[in-house]
Amino acid sequence: MDTDTIASLAAELAEADRTRGVIPRITARHPDATVEDAYAIQAVWRDSRIAAGRRLVGRKIGLTSKAMQQATGISEPDYGVMFDDTVWQNGSVIPFDDFSNVRVEVELAFVLKEPLEGPDCSLFDVLRATEYVTPALEVLNSHIALEGRTIVDTIADNAAYGGMVLGGNPMRPDRIDLRWVSALLYRNESIEETGVAAGVLNQPATGVAWLADKLHQHGARLEAGEIILAGSFTRPITVSRGDSILCDYGPMGTITCRFT
């Protein structure tokens, strides 16, 4: 894909983000587009957001569990970037109209105390570099038509990231077996999904190691202080205006938010 096409598609996605709109699938219009093309589109969009004054605070990893791969029909992980104005605190009231195709996922967030980079980043490298792990909800925000989309469409759309809600009890990674962190996800007082964090590549820190290696291929690394969403271990639930969300992580506490 040539640079003009990449720039044009990035501009389309930026406009869809501004207007809360949805654009036709990129792969329907450019069937030969590759994963690398998609990351190039995402990078142009990311750099334009930074130039406009937004600050990058972390990355999200998507499609790391069988539940999410089955829900989307996409069989490999992807990643996107997170900006400072997309982070919500526990108990927040979130404007529903800030997003398109609103859904919520259950995740763990890793907060780094040291930089992390590939190649050959290991699970133990991730645990050493992590200051603490905390519960998080990811708000999905899709600007590309969902029907028939591929991983190319999803990556170009910043891996469908919209925002995250941080809450619960932050814990150092050596104080808890991350594989056995479980969560109960409620919408309007009714339980919708349950899951265990081992669903994310058997150990959610493995996803962070994957990301460090993937970024190395693109000449980048994870920096100290970044927040890394390791991937959902439940299927996403659709959210409507007025819905209240509560996620109970047991010993790691709860997260609540409401969409208005």
Using left for φ > 0, alpha for ψ between -120 and 50, and beta otherwise, residue 202 falls in: left
User: Could you tell me the pLDDT band of residue 118, with boundaries at 50, 70 and 90?
Assistant: very high
Residue 68 has pLDDT above 80, yes or no: no
- pLDDT-above-90 percentage for the chain: 88
Q: Which tokens belong to 188?
A: 């309007």
Per-chain mean pLDDT for the chain? 94
Q: How far is CA 99 from CA 20, 40, 90, 161, in A?
A: 6, 23, 19, 10
Overall average pLDDT of the 179-184 stretch: 98
